[in-house]
Structure 1
Amino acid sequence: MKATPLRAAALAVALLGALVAGAPAQAAPNETTTSPTTDCVTNPATPKRQFRAMWIASVTNIDWPSKDSWTAPDQVAKQKAEYLGWLDLAQKLNHNAVVVQVRPTADAFWPSPYEPWSEYLTGVRGKNPGWDPLAFLVAESHKRNLEFHAWFNPYRVSMPAPGGAGADVSQLAPDSPARAHPDWVFAYPPAGVAGSRLYYNPGIPAVREFVQTAMMDAVNRYDVDGVHFDDYFYPYPSGTWQVPDDATFAQYNRGFTDKADWRRDNINLLVREMNAKIKAAKPWVKFGVSPFGIWRNASADPNGSDTTGSQSYDIISADTRKWVKEEWVDYIVPQLYWYIGQYPAADYARLVPWWAEQVRGTRVQLYIGQADYKSGDPAYGSFWMNPQELSNHLTLNRSYPEVLGNVHFSAVQVRANRLGATDIYAAEHYSRPALVPTMTHLPHKPLLFPVVTKAQREADGVRLSWRQPADGRGPLGTATSYAIYRFDGTGLAGRCDFADASHLVGTVRATDGATQSWVDTTAADGARYTYYVTALDRLANESPASPPRFVR
């Protein structure tokens, strides 16, 4: 590290001026964090910014809460403890977000005025669990400085019988809107056929408006960081059965003569309108979709991928490429649940560059959905018996700068760690913390750098304390969290030292009160260190670094 005492002095003088004036004056630029770092040599294994998450699915109690919790002596305590266990795992793996399913089947994990309580909380459709799960989920995630992305399924109403209500509207919760409006739903495949379930009809304008209102209730009332859809829109085909929407098309075709185009437009309207409503209510809330991994094959469309598998454009009416090009989403997470070399059907190594090309030149961020559930399961073939397969996926991603993260399906599979695959990719790719990628098109304000007031050794490590000047005042943003950087020795850091996460030792959520603190439990006894702290707003936009603080 290059020793530049004049730089630190200039920072301190600028900060002092801002504090004396009592106004949000701009601090002098800190070269260590505000200067471009594109010319810096960085370690690809320790990116400074990378979205890392796992899906926590509630439908049929896949991940959370467990069915065992229904009969626990204290059901609420059991479910809370289970969720905290998932957050422990996320922190252990250096994740920075969770994607949690809170509306799996036209129901709610919060006291919704529009839809019934989810059966997956108590085992009984519509039963009040006696607490507000969503409030707890968001608050506890934020305590760990994890972004909370609320995962909604727009149109699915039930799961197949006998576990779910199947195609029988009378088996839904008594206060289900589908019971009050049976004309809003259809069964697919038809009632009496194995796997039949209910869906809200995407072609009915009142339905589209209702599901948006139901989902926006959670956005308006809770401090979520993101809204997330998965790949369920129109149902996936089942045999030769057709979706029963001829009458809907006749009544609401909006001038379309081709039903397939009309269906795609129905889903386009949902995505476009939902994004607009989110941004009108809370401009900082991100909107993302995790679609099936193939848009169209090149044999069907010259813009398609070099694949031969099913196409979301055709089978579920999801024109995912259009959503990217129109920038109706802030991020997209294609589910690339295939192995490297799975050609010609769907080769991971061919789909990643295809998706990278689609987001290039747009403001849409690309994360990749990873199939942790296939790893170590012989039912999916010998390639998935290679413990290195998932880590190889993440290594391949490094060749494409458009790939800014990964989401793993799902939490129980991540924890299962079959073949040690989770341990392998975590060690090779998630060894250091990372900040989420910034979204510069979303509104934000500049932050002043923090002032570290104390750095002292304690029994459990080095405790840092700091203050955030002029927080949220005037044109300045509000610090939501902080990043802590540690360097060996007592020299000063240069700008390239902050270009990756090699020196990032942790992040911490801001707390109420003027003074913030954090303990570096990994500090070695007797070692000399230099610490810097930066402030982050809720979108992870970063302030200049604080003046250094030395520990001897």
Structure 2
Amino acid sequence: MKRYRLLMSLLLLLFGLQPIATAAQPQTSTGVTANAAVSQSIPPTAPPDIVNGTAPQPVINPNAGAEGSSTAVNQSQQEMRAAWVSTVYNIDWPSKQGLSIDAQKQEYIRLLDELKATGMNAIIVQVRAESDAIYPSALVPWSKWLTGTQGKHPGYDPLAFMIEETHKRGMAFHAWFNPFRASTNKDPGKLAANHPARLHPNWVVPHNNQLIFNPGIPEVRQHVIATILEVVNKYDVDGVHLDDYFYPYGQEAFKDDATYAAYNQGRFANKGDWRRDNINTFVRDLYQSIKRVKPQVEFGISPFGIWRNAKDDPTGSDTNGQSSYDNLYADVRTWIRSGWLDYVAPQLYWSIGYKPAAYDKLVHWWAAETNGTPVKLYIGHAAYRVGSNTTDWATSDALIKQLQLNKAYPQVKGSIFFSAKTLLNNTAGVGSSLKQYYAAQTP
């Protein structure tokens, strides 16, 4: 334990992270508003790393990516055209566990070439799925999705290879982290010996047959930031990307009463506001830490598509579903207005005109929310729904109409598609349709 804490302290000093506030030195409030009940009339729809379209559930160059790097991609003038690449459950890459080094590399090269041909200019790869890594890390074990065994070295550095191949093609590489999911399995005995949930069992909360890091513990937030800074410092990434998983989805209560009692100390009248402050503090500290060590690296988050419903907050959207604010305790509005993001990419995984959460209404709301701010707005699209057995998503026209609608809003600076496999498989012609659409656009 002492050796782990010493290692953490040295890494934090190296990576430029400021010490956390203790219970005796509380972080200041970040402007959250009162909690409110939220309708559950629609389920959470396909965050980037869920399975089957259903809701929740070597040597590294230490100077890589420094100012003036010749391999970094200039993203400032480009429309973002990106795809998510999930490693969890082998959704997108690698296609299965235990492939040879050459097979893994060839799969990624094919994926890149196909995505570039489709019109993509960026890729968002999940480098941390469950407090693991697809790169050699001093803080977390190797991902089991590479070899089939968590902690087993795959024989090469996948992240270094992926970044090099991506930049060869003039595409941007964003490293995607799931911050607070510790394990997709609730049994800590199945984790590698150096997994943080094994080293610090008090950091995790069993929830929905998974292990979730408790965001209310300051050391947890500090640890997650340190793992992200490890990548920022060592690799030539163009961006750091977080998904929508903060406090977890699901009807099951997240059991953090003891943490609330220990760390709130009367600062907030209800647990909801305290939870939001924990996430706000995490987002703020992560943004500032990234900019301190590599200001050119972009930081973006892809939240659930509804911030709040208008029935709960008159400034919310005309929707009727669960929300980032009330259910995941993610106050995206505060992050935007505080300037803690370079971009926001809400997951608008519904069709135009869908009554509980209409795509057109939500694009309008998010465009207004980011208008006049330096935060770029990208839209997360549900490409995986194209070809499904519903009228709204029967053909790729549904997705193309969304892209055409985006053109009415100058605030929308690009799109991200879930997921890469759908585009590569050309499900219901979605890959071909995107290729044709983007070929007709001005780069």
Give the counterpart letter for 1:210 in structure 2. Answer: H
More strand by share: 1
Residue 90 (structure 2) pairs with residue 61 (structure 1): yes
Offset at 1:406? 0.3
Match of 1:203 among 213, 216, 223: 216
Return the match for 1:404 from 404, 409, 413. Answer: 413
Do the aligned partners of 2:119 and 2:438 also contact (CA within 8 Å) in 1? Answer: no
Match of 1:178 among 194, 197, 207: 197
- For the aligned residues, what is the CA RMSD? 1.2
Residue identity matched to 1:387: S
Work out which of the residue numbers 300, 313, 334 in structure 2 matches 1:288: 300
Aligned to 2:263: 252
Letter in 1 for 2:379: I
Q: How does 1:511-550 map to 2 (within 5 A)?
A: none
Q: Match of 1:387?
A: 396
What is the number of equivalent residue pairs in this alignment? 366
Deviation at 1:175, TM superposition (A): 1.1
Partner of 1:417: 426
Q: Which deviates the most, 247-256 or 263-272?
A: 247-256
The Cα shift of 1:257 comes to 2.4
SS at match of 2:182: coil
Deviation at 1:418, TM superposition (A): 2.1
Shift of 1:430: 4.1
Question: Are residue 279 (structure 1) and residue 291 (structure 2) matched?
Answer: yes
In structure 2, the residue matched to 1:167 is: 186
How does 1:452-471 map onto structure 2 within 5 Å?
Answer: none
Q: Partner of 2:375 in structure 1?
A: 364
Q: Deviations along 1:87-109, whole A, 9 cap, x unmatched?
A: 10121022111000000100011
Indicate if the aligned counterparts of 1:233 and 1:316 stay in contact, CA closer than 8 A. yes
Counterpart of 2:121 in structure 1 is 96
Q: Output aligned runs, 1:301-450, within 5 Å.
A: 301-343=313-355, 345-378=356-389, 381-431=390-440
Counterpart residue identity of residue 142, structure 1: H
Supply the distance in 2 between the matched residues of 1:286 and 1:430 (Cα, whole angstroms).
Answer: 26
The Cα offsets for residues 304-354 of structure 1, whole Å up to 9 and x where unpaired, read as 0011111110111111121111111000100000001101x1000100010
Correspondences of 1:94-173 after superposition (within 5 Å): 94-159=119-184, 166-173=185-192
Secondary structure of 2:126 counterpart: strand
Percentage of identical aligned residues: 49
Q: For 1:428 and 1:284, locate their aligned partners in 2 and report how far apart those are by CA, in whole Å.
A: 30
* C-alpha contact (below 8 Å) 2:119/2:434 kept by paired residues: no
How far did 1:429 drift? 3.2
CA distance in 2, matches of 1:237, 1:318: 15
Paired residue type of 2:386: S
Question: 8 Å contact 1:116–1:176 — kept in the other structure?
Answer: yes
Give the aligned residue type for 1:152. F
Classify the secondary structure of the residue corresponding to 1:111: coil
Q: CA contact under 8 A between 2:115 and 2:420: conserved in structure 1?
A: no
Take 1:263 and 1:321, find their aligned partners in 2: how far apart are those partners? 15
Please state whether the residue corresponding to 1:395 is helix, strand or coil.
helix
Give me the whole-angstrom Cα distance separating, in 2, the residues matched to 1:325 and 1:376: 38
Q: 2:37 maps to what in 1? A: none
Match 2:225 to one of 212, 235, 258: 212
CA distance in structure 1 between the partners assigned to 2:83 and 2:440 by the alignment: 16
1:57-92 Cα distance to aligned partner (Å, 9 max, x none): 10111000111x61x4xx100000000011101210
2:80 is equivalent to residue 51 of structure 1: yes
SS of 2:383's equivalent in the other structure is: coil
- Give the corresponding residue for 1:36: none
The residue type equivalent to 1:184 in the other structure is: W
Q: Distance in 2 between matches of 1:405 and 1:171?
A: 40
Q: Distance in 2 between matches of 1:133 and 1:425?
A: 28
Aligned partner of residue 181 in structure 2, secondary structure: coil
Could you tell me whether the CA contact under 8 Å between 2:308 and 2:324 is conserved in 1?
Answer: yes
Q: Give the Cα separation in 2 of the matches to 1:386 and 1:373.
A: 11
After TM superposition, the score normalised by the length of structure 1 is 0.65
**Is residue 394–residue 429 contact of structure 1 (8 Å, CA) maintained in 2?**
no
Matching residue of 2:275: 263
Counterpart contact for 1:150–1:226, Cα < 8 Å? yes
Q: What stretches of structure 2 of length at least 5 have no aligned partner?
A: 1-76
Mapped contact 2:396–2:430 kept (Cα < 8 A): yes
- The separation in 2 between residues aligned to 1:348 and 1:58, in whole angstroms, is 27
8 Å contact from structure 1 (residues 338, 371) kept in 2: yes
SS for the counterpart of 2:421 is helix
Q: 1 or 2, which has the higher helix percentage?
A: 2
TM-score (norm 2): 0.81
